[in-house]
Structure 1
């Protein structure tokens, strides 16, 4: 089907599968489909083969015209054309991908036909092509391309509208990063079409997702006008399931009010990360978004304990006064309040309402546990030593300041201890970066150590390994140690100290690297002399059962000898990040990050990856 001759293996049937596609499909024992490869090729060569830019068309026409003038050296079939260097061909034409010989009229006809085909491309394939364009050819997404082919359009007659299920504006596109008013203008144009056309029902009813990411200068009124545009269709014409507005700084409580008035009954996923909303939006969402399942409020200012408690109380009062009475947030499963000023009082109010039903909770870098304990959080989650199995899958506690024994006692409610094979846990992801072992309540105190000390980290590794041996599958564990040797005892007496014996850093790392698929361990002093395990952890597990695929060990003082000792524990390793270490590169890995590594001189970096002669 390709116009290129069979000798061009890169453009016909034999094609290199990109790494991210291979990792996604091969891991699940699936091969990439021909449709996926075709869409990627179309996205990569969109500006030259699908919709050539004016410069490409001019160069193509000029090259084709020059080829017509060139005397034929031998008789060739049109499909066997092989481009050759010619002084009559413009320089910019030789830099283009190989194209068949076309006259200017044929090139224009080809361009117009592709326009027609793109306009009739089904919504599913156009959305997939748009995703690939954002990744592989962002410069090809212009305002004209976005308006003519990607955005929904309201037709002049019934059933003539172009339907789309998703409206996606990423700030990383040059179209939005260079023209700060472009997103607002496109939304205003769509709002005007929806307000004026009597046939906007199909367009509004088809949209399921509104994703505006990182548009820091987008006015909140642009989103409000879009949501209120189709007034003639009724009070709640939208059926949006997902609305994500991370980084849109102007989004406020008025936007949330307009959102729940327009589509509150169907809203299931709401991301308000780094916006200007206040706790008043919690009351609004609890009243008018009964099906909300995921809520992200990270990096939002103003969520103090008192205000959050008042909002939750008002939310409960409104639910009790409703006819029939309703429980606010009764379907909420994922909550992210990281990097906010919430403390034990605020989180206790929220978790007292939805805590036992949560499957994902992130309270990283908040004021939770400011007294050194996590007892309030445990009560909010409905946990005790004899509680039923928890449904929590992801738990983020990074950046908190807690007592070491309190942390282990809290985790003990979710994870089994060595020897408890009958206990099961749903926890799959655990984030414990930048934890500070509590010393004093004074925030200016420097006595707290950033990262887990040796005893605490060893006890954590024991619980992770025990859960793994009981059939638990760990997706990700992220921990951080301090700059002391990893076997140094904690300056706090641990409640479970009698269960431990002498151990080494090798015991801690072996249990973690065997049990976890994506392991982040940073800040430890990893030396080769301290990596000999004192227990039979490695002997008890077969190499084929080790699930480590990605390993991140930044700022660990890692050297080549220590890395050599750790490699046999890794299993089928696919991704390694060794930032700020002392190793030299190993070119056998498919992906490796070595930024800030002092053992890799700048002048020699290219020679490490040069193919062997």
Structure 2
């Protein structure tokens, strides 16, 4: 994947040597935000990466290593040995262009004299160019014997036949691993010949697939903006003309088009309208497809609304009118993602919800719209308390995941509307498992009061199933005057400690936390809140971090200043966890001014870490070595902008395996 925020063809990134997309490509008409994305090459590349389902493999200076399964088993509660097919697919994906379908260059090397490897071009010390060990497809493949030209061609043709007969489930898994490990191997020919569904000329001759998957993070789609539209148009033509299209349509269950910023909406509409029979899609995800609009939603509901359970239209051109369309035509919808969509203001959302209810009442028999909806993401929209009240009044008590981050919810400083919408009428335990409140502006006391209504305290085992809490970039009111803000993103010390106490109390009550995120701007953890919080006692940063690190599997505490002198706990109610019961697997502490002495003081709370992010800190290789030694299962470390660590070592914490 291209490094997030890095323009292709210049600066850092895996495809820096690749020619950038042409400027003459057609740009769909869309909102001002989308026009800004299409006009900014760097921003468009970042959108393509962020909408990809794969991790940002090539972002900044990141070190990775493979941890043997028998070592990981010591620190994982659920352990499964890898199967032989999974291992074979992993190896095949990593060496697809050399051993499965060799490229012409590889075939020439196999049949001709070996050539000396060219020397690496000299580069500036601040310029990031991925080394061979940083690029999976550049890793040295197992040595191949010298072949005659006829043998090489026969080998190549035989593998083509085997790929065409590979069962669909294994072909889909191989494709996913190729996207992650060898994206340059995925060409238009490979997609068309082996991965995409194909309509046969006779009954039973069609190639069936359960999923159409185009991620824009692949160079095939990021460099050729018309490739995705052409492939979809070819498939649509086959479905429209062939009498055997029912086989292909009946097998498909998902269409995933991720980050295709220049894909015309008409390409999706034509595909949905091509066959003469209804689709049976359960999942349609179109995040980052900027041109997708309400007409696309209408075509989608007409084609497959009865079976649709998961819809993701993040960062598209849909409007609140899509809510009424979905409420009327998608009765089984369980997951809905509307993040980064413009036009979702209070009045229009409330009107759409009212339309949904009216349509349900007028139906015969009457129906409740969105009665199965359990996951809702409206982050980065203009929704406020009015819109949220309408939504939660319809589906609030049944939600298991809600993200209202970076909206206008709670703009009056309180979260009472959200609390009333999520609280069940029967006053039973809440179903909410994930809650995103990042970027909101609330009073500290209101936040603590809201969380206490949903989290069990000491000796309690009720009220909540909450396992993931996102509180990044929260802004606290400094006085009762709503126009006066503290002006800093991130929880103050008192508020952070109050949240940590509630998280730890819930953990002690048998509540297992998956993730807590409290990142923000650089700030001292000792900064008091402007509001007096009940039950607050003397504490240090060590007490706060001990409570969180002893309770959470994934923890993000970006922005905190962490001097070693503040890390000694004052209280003994959070003893060091037993090595066999340590929960913390992922710890992200970017921009924390962390030094070696502070990191060494925190090491006793670790031991089971698998991933660590220490970007923009002041650590040196000395503390990194201690961190690696204390965490045998550690496989991923991010050290971008760590000036105390040489650039080469930031990407090579572990020496390459011999």
TM-score normalised according to structure 1 size: 0.87
What is the correspondence of 1:259-274 to structure 2 with a 5 Å cutoff? 259-274=300-315
CA shift in 2, pair 1:444/1:112, >3 Å: farther
Q: 1:316 aligned to 2:362? A: no
Larger Rg, first or second structure (1 or 2): 1
Which of residues 44, 57, 70 in structure 1 aligns to 2:94? 44
SS in 2 for 1:144: helix
TM-aligned CA deviation for residue 90 of structure 1: 4.6
Q: 1:382 aligned to 2:423? A: yes
Which of residues 157, 182, 196 in structure 2 aligns to 1:137? 182
SS in 1 for 2:448: helix
**Using the alignment, how far apart are the partners of 1:543 and 1:138 within structure 2?**
39
Contact 1:453 1:482 in 2 (8 A): no
Q: Deviations over 1:578-597 (max 9, x none)?
A: 11111113133532222112
Which of residues 499, 505, 510 in structure 2 aligns to 1:471? 510
TM-aligned CA deviation for residue 603 of structure 1: 8.1
Which of residues 464, 474, 495 in structure 2 aligns to 1:435? 474
Gap regions ≥5 residues in structure 1: 1-15, 64-88
What is the correspondence of 1:356-395 to structure 2 with a 5 Å cutoff? 356-382=397-423, 387-395=427-435
TM-aligned CA deviation for residue 139 of structure 1: 1.1
Moved more, 28-37 or 475-484: 475-484
Structure with greater contact order relative to length (CA < 8 Å, sep ≥ 6): 2
TM-aligned CA deviation for residue 554 of structure 1: 1.4
What is the correspondence of 1:222-301 to structure 2 with a 5 Å cutoff? 222-231=267-276, 233=277, 237-301=278-342
Contact 1:584 1:600 in 2 (8 A): yes
CA shift in 2, pair 1:177/1:522, >3 Å: same
**Using the alignment, how far apart are the partners of 1:401 and 1:501 within structure 2?**
25
Contact 2:199 2:245 in 1 (8 A): yes
Which of residues 141, 144, 148 in structure 2 aligns to 1:99? 144
CA shift in 2, pair 1:562/1:576, >3 Å: same
Gap regions ≥5 residues in structure 2: 1-63, 119-139, 629-633
Q: Could you say which residue in structure 2 is the equivalent of 1:349?
A: 390
TM-aligned CA deviation for residue 480 of structure 1: 3.0
**Using the alignment, how far apart are the partners of 2:438 and 2:638 within structure 1?**
23
Q: Deviations over 1:12-37 (max 9, x none)?
A: xxxx9945988998833211111111
CA shift in 2, pair 1:483/1:106, >3 Å: closer
Count matched residues. Answer: 563
Contact 2:428 2:463 in 1 (8 A): no
**Using the alignment, how far apart are the partners of 2:653 and 2:305 within structure 1?**
56
**Using the alignment, how far apart are the partners of 2:274 and 2:649 within structure 1?**
60
Q: Deviations over 1:562-612 (max 9, x none)?
A: 111111012412221111111113133532222112322558868976699
**Using the alignment, how far apart are the partners of 1:247 and 1:21 within structure 2?**
36
CA shift in 2, pair 1:23/1:383, >3 Å: farther
**Using the alignment, how far apart are the partners of 2:488 and 2:94 within structure 1?**
49
Q: Could you say which residue in structure 1 is the equivalent of 2:530?
A: 491
SS in 2 for 1:518: strand
CA shift in 2, pair 1:125/1:22, >3 Å: farther
What is the correspondence of 1:558-569 to structure 2 with a 5 Å cutoff? 558-569=594-605
Q: Deviations over 1:338-375 (max 9, x none)?
A: 00000000111011100000000000000000000000
TM-aligned CA deviation for residue 103 of structure 1: 1.9
Q: Could you say which residue in structure 1 is the equivalent of 2:129?
A: none
SS in 2 for 1:38: helix
CA shift in 2, pair 1:484/1:248, >3 Å: closer
Which of residues 224, 242, 264 in structure 2 aligns to 1:219? 264
Q: 1:544 aligned to 2:580? A: yes
Q: Could you say which residue in structure 2 is the equivalent of 1:452?
A: 491
What is the correspondence of 1:589-600 to structure 2 with a 5 Å cutoff? 590-600=635-645
**Using the alignment, how far apart are the partners of 2:154 and 2:544 within structure 1?**
66
Which of residues 522, 527, 536 in structure 2 aligns to 1:500? 536
CA shift in 2, pair 1:18/1:162, >3 Å: farther
Q: Deviations over 1:308-347 (max 9, x none)?
A: 0000000100000001111000000000000000000011
The Cα RMSD (Å) is 2.6
SS in 2 for 1:107: helix
SS in 1 for 2:289: coil
